[in-house]
Amino acid sequence: MSNHLSLLPAWDDAEGVRRASDLFLATYGSRPDGVWAAPGRVNLIGEHLDYNGGFSLPFALPHRTFVALARRDDEFVRLVSDLGADEPWTGSLDDLGPGRAAGWIAYAGGPAWVLRDEGLPVGGFDAAIASCVPLGAGLSSSAALETAVALALDELFHDGTLGADDAGRTRLAAACVRAENEVAGAATGGMDQAAALRTTAGHALLIDSRDASVRQVPLDLDAAGLAVLVIDTRAPHALADGQYASRRAACERAAARLAVRTLCEVADPEAALARLDDPEEVRRARHVFTEQERVRRVIDLVSASRLSKIGPDLDGSHASLAGDYEVSCRELDVAVSAARDAGARGARMTGGGFGGSAIALVERGAESRVADAVASAFAEHGFNPPAFLVARASAPGGRVA
Ligand code: GLA
């Protein structure tokens, strides 16, 4: 990478453990019972399908959120983080319920409230959070936080029963989705929490959201001579501001009109589109139908070690998200077109959109040329300088100390 480009650093376990433990010690004057970490993610393809009964194909980033945590013998919870200038928070487990907790407290504490609501013997705790997952970048910093806390609580209050296998992790992921929906008030689907808890290193996670089943899909970018460059546009990004929920609501209305539970159950997309008369519902449904087709093609190509051929589907996904789904923004559009002009095989926004990050599939060795081209295009447009990282399919959440 050229010197003027900032590459967002991924901490190794030792650094993350040190930062979270130091913050714990400085805040509470004692040592934590352990440290847990969970990753951010990018989604290769299958965007806005997780709440439509479709497929998505995320993989875990090397960037993780670290949570140092200790059990308490009472109902109090204390939370501190390096995520912003926030003061440490103190309250009770009840204060972490819907309508009470907000901001990062909802993501950090919401899982505790949900797990207790679901009958797990969760009590009070102290936690210190340190993270290198870029915030508000569409890389799932919120799910990384929720799932790291959930793994810690499961282990300290429940013998690690749920974290130990995929069935338990599926349940933990569902609890974190509830925390996000009910406590944080963001109507998101389950892709991010599954990516943080159920991936394995070296693989993308094919999630079938009809039944939350998953399949590990080997993703050997090195062997294909390729790399996934992540472009954090640094454009403001928020999922709780109503736009995400309005996309979801339009899909649910369209599904109800078509008499299916979710849009991906539709057997004949052409006929279904002809039956919808609201233009907004037509556009949203068309994205869902065409995206599901693109994911299928990409799964086939990746499974057949033909990763270099997925570029057109990445491009098609972006066009559909920008045109039919209307969740892109100028910064994302400039990022993907500048990346393609600089030789990327394909590029698309990743995650919820409305700002956040794009991914570009580039030849190995071309990362810095493509990043330079994107940074120049941003400067020409007067945008904030973007940040970059190179994604490697990394490990799921777990205990690190
Ligand atoms: C956000 C949500 C996910 C998913 C994506 C879009 O990341 O948290 O559930 O809907 O947007 O694919």
* Ligand 1 centroid from CA 99, angstroms: 22
CATH of domain 226-391: 3.30.70.890
| Residue 210: band (very low, low, confident or very high) from pLDDT cuts 50, 70, 90 | very high
3-state SS, 308-360, equals: HHCHHHHHHHHHHHHHCCCCCCHHHHHHHHHHHHCCCCEEEEECCCCCCEEEE
Which pLDDT value is given to residue 84?
75
pLDDT by residue (tens digit) across 78-98? 999 998 767 899 999 999 999
The CATH architecture that domain 6-216 belongs to is: 2-Layer Sandwich (3.30)
Q: Say yes or no: CB of residue 266 within 6 Å of ligand 1.
A: no
Q: Among 300, 344, 342, 294, which residue's Cα sits nearest to residue 319?
A: 294
Which pLDDT value is given to residue 326?
97
Given a cut of 80, whether residue 4 has pLDDT beyond it is no
pLDDT by residue (tens digit) across 176-196? 999 999 999 999 999 999 999
Judging by DSSP bridges, how do beta strands 357-363 and 226-232 pair with one another? antiparallel
| Residue 169: band (very low, low, confident or very high) from pLDDT cuts 50, 70, 90 | very high
Q: What is the mean pLDDT of the chain?
A: 96
Catalytic residue check, 300: no
Which pLDDT value is given to residue 35?
99
Q: Say yes or no: CB of residue 47 within 6 Å of ligand 1.
A: yes
Which atom of ligand 1 is found nearest the CA of 51? 10
* Cβ-proximal residues to 23 (8 Å cutoff; 6+ apart), any chain: 68, 80, 81, 82, 128, 129, 130
Which pLDDT value is given to residue 2?
47
pLDDT by residue (tens digit) across 214-263? 999 999 999 999 999 999 999 976 665 789 999 999 999 999 999 999 99
Which pLDDT value is given to residue 12?
98
Please give the average per-residue pLDDT across 186-210, as a whole number: 97
pLDDT by residue (tens digit) across 322-361? 999 999 999 999 999 999 999 999 999 999 999 999 999 9
Q: Among 127, 122, 123, 120, which residue's Cα sits nearest to residue 104?
A: 127
Q: Say yes or no: CB of residue 237 within 6 Å of ligand 1.
A: no
Given a cut of 50, whether residue 1 has pLDDT beyond it is no
Ligand 1, atom 2, residue with closest C-alpha = 188
Q: Among 317, 303, 302, 308, which residue's Cα sits nearest to residue 348?
A: 317
Q: Among 345, 357, 296, which residue's Cα sits nearest to residue 321?
A: 357
* Cβ-proximal residues to 1 (8 Å cutoff; 6+ apart), any chain: 7, 367, 368, 371, 388
Where are the domains positioned within the chain? 6-216, 226-391
Element (H, E) at 294: helix 279-303
Q: Which of 50, 154, 192, 315 is catalytic?
A: 192
How far is Cα 179 from Cα 144, in angstroms, rounded to an integer? 13
What is the pTM assigned to this prediction?
0.97
Token output for 252: 């649910």
* Cβ-proximal residues to 110 (8 Å cutoff; 6+ apart), any chain: 96, 101, 146, 176, 178, 179, 180, 182, 183, 184
Which pLDDT value is given to residue 239?
61
Q: Say yes or no: CB of residue 191 within 6 Å of ligand 1.
A: yes
Identify the sign of the CA torsion 95, 97, 99, 105.
positive
Q: Which of 41, 42, 48 to mutate to test the pocket of ligand 1 (most atoms within 8 A of CB)?
A: 48
| Residue 6: band (very low, low, confident or very high) from pLDDT cuts 50, 70, 90 | low
pLDDT by residue (tens digit) across 140-162? 999 999 999 999 999 999 999 99
Token output for 90: 């103190």
Which pLDDT value is given to residue 240?
54
Q: Say yes or no: CB of residue 40 within 6 Å of ligand 1.
A: no
